[in-house]
Chains A and B, each alone.
Chain A
Amino acid sequence: MSVTLTERAAAHVANFLGKRGKGLGIRLGVKTSGCSGMAYKLEFIDAALDDDEVFDSHGIKVVVDRKSLVYLDGTELDYVREGLNEGFKFDNPNARNQCGCGESFNV
Chain B
Amino acid sequence: MALLQIAEPGLSTAPHQHRLAVGIDLGTTNSLVATVKNGIAVCLVDEQGRALVPSVVHYRGDGGVDIGVAALGARLEDPKNTIVSVKRFMGRGLTDVTHIEAMPYVFEETPGMLRLRTVRGSKSPVEISADILRALRARAEASLGGELTGAVITVPAYFDDAQRQATKDAARLAGLHVLRLLNEPTAAAVAYGLDNAAEGVYAVYDLGGGTFDLSILKLTRGVFEVLATNGDAALGGDDFDHRLYCWALDQSRIAPPSAEDARRMQMKARAVKELLSVSEEAPFRVRLASNEEVDLNIGRETFFEMTRPLVQKTLAPIRRALRDAGLVAQDIKGVVMVGGATRMPHVLRAVAEFFGQAPLTNLDPDKVVALGAAMQANALAGNRRAGDDDWLLLDVIPLSLGLETMGGLSEKIVPRNATLPIARAQEFTTFKDGQTAMAFHVVQGERELVADCRSLARFELRGIPPMVAGAARIRVTFQVDADGLLSVSAREASTGVETSITVKPSYGLTDDEIADMLRAGIDRAGDDFAVRALREQQLEAERLLEATARALETDGELLGTTERAAIEHEAAKLKALAAGGDAPAIGAGIAALARITDAFAARRMDRSIRSALAGHKIEEL
Contact = CB atoms under 8 A, between A and B. Distances in A.
Interface of A: 12-13, 16, 19-20, 26-27, 31, 33-35, 39-46, 80, 82-90, 98-99, 101-104
Contacts of A40: 4
Contacts of A104: 15
A13 B15 contact: no
B1 A102 contact: yes
Nearest to A86: B3
Contacts of A44: 6-9, 39
Given A31-B14, A42-B12, A83-B47, 4 more contacts: A42-B6, A43-B7, A84-B143, A87-B5
Nearest to A85: B145
A1 to B, nearest CB: 22
29 contacts: A13-B6, A16-B39, A16-B40, A20-B39, A27-B9, A31-B14, A33-B15, A35-B16, A41-B7, A42-B5, A42-B7, A42-B12, A43-B6, A43-B7, A44-B7, A44-B39, A46-B9, A83-B142, A84-B44, A85-B144, A87-B5, A88-B5, A89-B1, A101-B1, A101-B15, A102-B2, A103-B1, A103-B4, A103-B15
A46 B9 CA distance: 8
Give the interface centre of A33, A103, A104 by most chain B CB atoms within 10 Å.
A103
Chain B, interface residues (CB within 8 Å), range: 20 to 34
B39 A89 contact: no
Nearest to B40: A19
A102 B5 CA distance: 13
Given A44-B39, A84-B143, A85-B144, A90 B9 contact: no
Contacts of A83: 47, 142
Interface string B23-49: 000000000000000111000111100
Given A19-B39, A102-B1, A88 B14 contact: no
Contacts of A102: 1-2
Contacts of B14: 31, 33-34, 39
A85 B143 contact: yes
B526 interface: no
Contacts, number: 90
B15 A84 contact: no
B12 A84 contact: no
Contacts of A86: 3
Contacts of B243: none
A2 to B, nearest CB: 20
Contacts of A84: 44-47, 139, 142-143
A97 B46 CA distance: 33
Contact of B12 (A16, A41, A46): A41
Given A16-B40, A88-B4, A35 B9 contact: no
Contacts of B309: none
A86 B42 CA distance: 13
Nearest to B140: A84
Nearest to A89: B3
8 smallest beta-carbon distances between A and B, as pairs? A102-B1, A87-B3, A34-B15, A103-B15, A84-B143, A84-B142, A16-B38, A85-B145
B2 A101 contact: yes
A57 to B, nearest CB: 15
Interface in B38-80: 38-40, 44-47
A11 to B, nearest CB: 13
Contacts of B139: 84
A39 B3 contact: no
Contacts of A103: 1-2, 4, 15-16
Given A84-B143, A85-B144, A85-B145, A16 B6 contact: yes
A80 B3 contact: yes
Nearest to B44: A84
A19 B2 CA distance: 24
B111 interface: no
A85 B142 contact: yes
A19 B6 CA distance: 13
Nearest to B12: A41
Contacts of B11: 43
B560 interface: no
Most A Cβ at <10 Å: residue of B2, B16, B40: B2
Contacts of A43: 6-12
B93 to A, nearest CB: 39
A33 B1 CA distance: 17
Nearest to A31: B14
Nearest to A27: B9
A20 B45 CA distance: 21
Contacts of B40: 16, 19-20
Contacts of B9: 27, 43-46
Contacts of B144: 85
B3 A82 contact: yes
B49 to A, nearest CB: 10
Contacts of B44: 84
A43 B9 CA distance: 5
A88 B3 contact: yes
A40 to B, nearest CB: 6
A81 to B, nearest CB: 9
A101 B13 CA distance: 14
Nearest to A34: B15
A103 B15 CA distance: 6
A50 B44 CA distance: 39
B147 to A, nearest CB: 13
A101 B18 CA distance: 12
Nearest to B37: A87
A101 B16 contact: yes
Contact of B4 (A16, A31, A89, A99): A89
A82 B47 CA distance: 11
B187 to A, nearest CB: 19
A88 B299 CA distance: 51
Contacts of B8: 43-44
Contacts of B145: 85, 87
A88 B5 CA distance: 6
A88 B15 CA distance: 15
Contacts of A34: 14-16
